[in-house]
Amino acid sequence: MASDDEEMEISKDNMEDDSDDNDTDGDSTSEDSTDEQIDDSKQEAELVVLRDAVKSSPYNYQAHIDYINLARQYTNLEHLRFARQTMSELFPLTQQLWLDWIHDETLLLVSNSEEKTEFIQLFERAINDYLSVMIWIEYVQYRIPYYVSLNSMEELRNLFERGLSSCALHLTEGSLLWAAYIETEKAILEGILLNYQTNVNNDLKEKIAQHVEYILTLYRRELSIPLRGMDTVYYTDYNEFCQQYKEYLPTNYNEKYDLTLKNDFDRAIQRLKECEKFEQELEDTKRSVATYRKYIESEKEPTRIQCLYERAIVDNCLDGDLWLSYLDFAEEYLSSTNILQSIFERALRNCPWVATLWIRYAEYMEFNKTIGHSELKKIYDRALNSDPTNFVSFVDLQLAYIQYRRRHYDQELLSNNNEQCELLKEEIRHICEYACDQYQALFSLSKDPNLFLKYNGKIELYWIHLETKSFNSIEHARQIWNGRILMNNSHNEMISNLWRIYYYMEIQYGDEKRARKVLYRALNHVQTMDYPLIICDILLEHEKKYGTIQQLKETNDKLKQIKSKIIPIEKPKRQQQQQQKPPNKNNKKQIDKGKQKEIKQKPAKISENKMDTTAPSLQANGNTTQQQQHLSPRKRKLSPEETQSVKKKPQASTIDSEGFKIPPPPTLQPSSSILSSVGRSKSDSDHLNTVFVANLPFEVEDDAIRDALSSAGEIKEIRIVKHEWSGKSKGFGYIDFVTSEGARQALKLDHTKINDRPMYVSVYDPNKAISNDVTKKFKYATSLEQNKLFISNLSFSTTKEQIESLFAEKGFKARDARLVTHKSGKSKGLAYIEFDDAQEASNAVLKVDGTEIGGHIISVAISNPPQRKEPITSAAPRTASLGEAPRSSGPRGRGHSQISLVPRKVTRTSNTPNNPTTSTTTSTMSNDDFRKMLLNNK
């Protein structure tokens, strides 16, 4: 029993010891959990601080980066996803940021064979930000298990083809995606081959041969593009593949693949050597924009140029000029609306401070009518909030927005909705008023007063233009002048140009009495005005045109008094301005002005009798200088009558007694030209309402043109250009519409037939002469257009509606169709039809090519017109030999006789026509040679 009791005590002691140990372990565990909770709360507090910083300053790029890095360091998935999502909505993410995001999300996936829409959308967003070969490789590798599980090889190939359309031409990294594509196809081929070895049948053998041919096509496509490492692909991978599957190669392998591939490979290698020079220069210049521009200029293919632009943007995404150049290229060569819209949106996410990008984006969306009025207002609101502290951006954006609202008002005006137009008019006035007030509030205290004055008044002046031109309210325009421009801004009263504009507004839209009052108000500030003599000259001209003789006399007397006070002040002021100008190469002529007044050399004219009778320029007293006599020697002296006539010639500009330059006498011109100067400026500003029409029938009447273009809008005037001597039409003219929208709609009526003859409608450019009008510029594309088809072998009687109906029957909806016609309107048997995207166009080629229409089997292909030939320059004029008499020419510039009068027997022709140095002209013979030849013949 004693032993049992002892054992019980021992066991009891052991239990007590165990319980003490357990208590110790529990205490340590609780202490660890407490520390972890403290760390978690501390990390959460740090992350919350960064999250709040991002919310308060959403456009702080570095704040977003810090928030993402810290959340990733603490492995806080909730904060990490929020940080990445917030940043991706405001900024485009770099390749590394997207790859980190994709990698972290991949770790959370259970299986790659499952369809996960959110993860696919993440990849789609990643490939749209920047050009990235690595993201595309990650994308296809993620999708391969899913497509293999469904045995959907066609969808997998479509995904690879999408990647190739984006990255296949990437010289340094494009071969990686090609290798992934080919290796995937090889793996599929090995699976088919393994199945064939276990189950031999002809169907599997034919399938293997088809797959081998498909891989050969991929090799041929890859090796025709200049890519780094392509020599290894050709000499190793391609040859090994051909050797391994030589029994399955096509029968015409050498002709169809091997020889063709070798030729393409050699050309690509040659181009690769040329490109490597630019690639090395990119490395040396740290991938500068200037080097990329040189690289782009060396390329001729639009697809390669687009790839270079994408690469340049990856390295210089904040360069606004680079984005603008890319947009210029895209608008010219990329016809897809979706691609252009994507480039615009990406450009604005990278450079939201560039006002020109916002304006071009809004105008592009407005022109294509892809969005409505409310969406366009949102675009302009975003633009105005992008960088409100920049002078130029603010003014340009405000003017662009007001101009858009004016166009919208004009459209509503055509609908005769008077109530809506009145509301829009008041909205525009409110916008203009707010813009002017905001400009004064933001920039009136600017540190750059010169820049402020440069843009000051631009918004108000356009507001005045709206009131007078669009709203027909001269009273509102006067209120803007008196209440805003001149009264509230004292410095504006010193700008003579503003007073001049105010005066001409009153002349054009008001009355001459108010115009006179404007000039007299301006005279109250002549002492502080920048160019007061301009106002004096305008006032004098005004009294000559509209005033009485008494008013003219009083004005002359008053202006004499004013000038007597102004001139002593203006003369030293201008001299001081001239002295302050630093001498440089550009104003070198101003420094030598005194010498130019003394020496004025004119190019000597050589007459037909080789005698120089051109008089040198004269001094003010009519005598020549010694230097002039030396530079222009005479063969004879001038007669007294000739000397007198030379003295009567108009003299060069001289200086009057007051120190001002006297201009040379003006050339004679009709008095009506002076009176119409104001009207001309008005018409020049309305050129946006005008279109140029050509290829008109010579007998066409104005009513026929009006009927053809009446659907575009109300026509103000039709001006057909006619011959002065006969009064007959020249076949072209100008159509003035009431609004600019009417002119834009008229452009859509290009090739409308009048008297069975297509009328060409194009944009009117007042700065181009008639000899260089826009009709001579080929306005259609001259390169590959993947969304447009070219149709040939059409019947001459086939119409546009029949073509559209043919494609509609096949299930294709065309955006537009165009018949190619002669100028007479007769069909050439050719046509173009355009679709929304390239995929639909490709499918249409397969189904419509070879179809019969109108008894003709038509041919349909992707549009790829040849380059336009450059105009052939005329040959250099023939130089006459010494003593040669001038050649007699006929009425068309040719000689009177085109028949060679040299006997054939005498003519010697060259025996080596291939030698370019051998002369092929007739060689003359001496009299002795001629006599000997005749005697020998006898």
Tell me the per-residue pLDDT of 184-201, one tens digit each, with 9 for 90 and over.
999 999 888 888 877 777
Q: Tell me: do 192 and 214 sit in the same domain.
A: yes
Average pLDDT over residues 449-457: 68
For tokens 């165009």, name the residue. Answer: 818
Q: Tell me: do 100 and 168 sit in the same domain.
A: yes
Query: According to the model, what pLDDT value does residue 476 have?
Result: 92
More confident residue, 389 or 288: 288
More confident residue, 142 or 880: 142
Cα–Cα dist 461/467, whole Å: 10
Single-letter code of the amino acid located at 785: E
Which of the four pLDDT bands, split at 50, 70 and 90, describes residue 636? very low
Q: Where are the alpha helices (DSSP H) in 57-152?
A: 61-73, 77-90, 95-107, 117-129, 133-150
Judge whether 901 lies within some domain.
Answer: no
More confident residue, 181 or 889: 181
Q: Tell me: do 170 and 245 sit in the same domain.
A: yes
Query: According to the model, what pLDDT value does residue 650 have?
Result: 43
What CATH number is attached to the domain comprising 830? 3.30.70.330
Q: Tell me: do 793 and 827 sit in the same domain.
A: yes
Q: Tell me: do 162 and 199 sit in the same domain.
A: yes
Query: According to the model, what pLDDT value does residue 150 have?
Result: 82
Query: According to the model, what pLDDT value does residue 932 have?
Result: 66
Q: Tell me: do 800 and 829 sit in the same domain.
A: yes
Judge whether 18 lies within some domain.
Answer: no
pLDDT exceeding 70 applies to what percent of the chain?
70
Q: Give the residue from 839, 862, 885 where a domain finishes.
A: 862
Cα–Cα dist 849/473, whole Å: 61
Q: Tell me: do 210 and 87 sit in the same domain.
A: no
pLDDT in tens, 43-61: 889 999 999 999 888 888 8
Taking the CA atoms of 239, 245, 247 and 253 in sequence, report the sign of the dihedral they define: negative
pTM > 0.75: no
Judge whether 61 lies within some domain.
Answer: yes
Strand partners, 235: none
For tokens 């010193």, name the residue. Answer: 494
Judge whether 852 lies within some domain.
Answer: yes
First to last CA, the chain: 170
pLDDT in tens, 483-498: 888 866 667 888 888 9
Assess contact for 177 and 168: CB atoms under 8 A: yes
Cα–Cα dist 786/769, whole Å: 35
Query: According to the model, what pLDDT value does residue 894 have?
Result: 44
Query: According to the model, what pLDDT value does residue 872 have?
Result: 44
pLDDT in tens, 395-444: 899 999 999 999 999 988 888 778 889 899 999 999 999 988 888 777 76
Query: According to the model, what pLDDT value does residue 32 have?
Result: 55
Query: According to the model, what pLDDT value does residue 134 have?
Result: 94
Cα–Cα dist 402/379, whole Å: 13
Q: Give the residue from 272, 291, 310 where a domain finishes.
A: 291
Q: Give the residue from 258, 291, 324 where a domain finishes.
A: 291
Q: Tell me: do 176 and 230 sit in the same domain.
A: yes
Query: According to the model, what pLDDT value does residue 652 have?
Result: 42
Give the closest residue to 764 by CA, choosing from 805, 793, 731, 733: 733
Judge whether 392 lies within some domain.
Answer: no
HEC sequence for 769-787? CHHHCHHHCCCCCCCCEEE
Contacts of 189 (CB under 8 A, 6+ apart): 208, 211, 212, 215, 245
Cα–Cα dist 347/329, whole Å: 14
Which of the four pLDDT bands, split at 50, 70 and 90, describes residue 685? very low
CB atoms within 10 A of CB 860: 22
pLDDT exceeding 90 applies to what percent of the chain?
34
Query: According to the model, what pLDDT value does residue 629 have?
Result: 43
Q: Tell me: do 99 and 218 sit in the same domain.
A: yes
Query: According to the model, what pLDDT value does residue 873 have?
Result: 42
Cα–Cα dist 845/842, whole Å: 5
Query: According to the model, what pLDDT value does residue 884 have?
Result: 41
Least confident of 109-118, 295-304, 325-334, 489-498: 109-118
pLDDT in tens, 255-281: 777 888 899 999 999 999 999 999 999
Least confident of 539-548, 624-633, 929-938: 624-633
Q: Tell me: do 149 and 112 sit in the same domain.
A: yes
Query: According to the model, what pLDDT value does residue 169 have?
Result: 94
Q: Is the pLDDT of residue 899 over 50?
A: no
Judge whether 13 lies within some domain.
Answer: no
Query: According to the model, what pLDDT value does residue 30 have?
Result: 54
pLDDT in tens, 101-152: 999 888 877 655 555 788 889 999 999 999 999 999 999 999 888 888 888 8
Least confident of 102-116, 726-740, 823-837: 102-116
Average pLDDT over residues 383-390: 76
Distance of CA 349 to the CA centre of its chain: 19
Q: Is the pLDDT of residue 172 over 60?
A: yes
Which of the four pLDDT bands, split at 50, 70 and 90, describes residue 585? very low
Judge whether 505 lies within some domain.
Answer: no
> How many domains are contained in the chain?
5
Judge whether 422 lies within some domain.
Answer: no
Q: Tell me: do 53 and 113 sit in the same domain.
A: no
What CATH number is attached to the domain comprising 131? 1.25.40.10
Query: According to the model, what pLDDT value does residue 334 have?
Result: 85
Query: According to the model, what pLDDT value does residue 485 have?
Result: 84
DSSP code of residue 817: E
Which of the four pLDDT bands, split at 50, 70 and 90, describes residue 449? low
Average pLDDT, the chain: 77
Strand partners, 827: 821
Cα–Cα dist 767/746, whole Å: 21
Q: Tell me: do 265 and 298 sit in the same domain.
A: no
Query: According to the model, what pLDDT value does residue 175 have?
Result: 94
Residue range of the domain that includes 811: 788-862
More confident residue, 222 or 200: 222
| Sheet with 816-821: strands ordered across | 816-821, 827-834, 785-792, 859-863
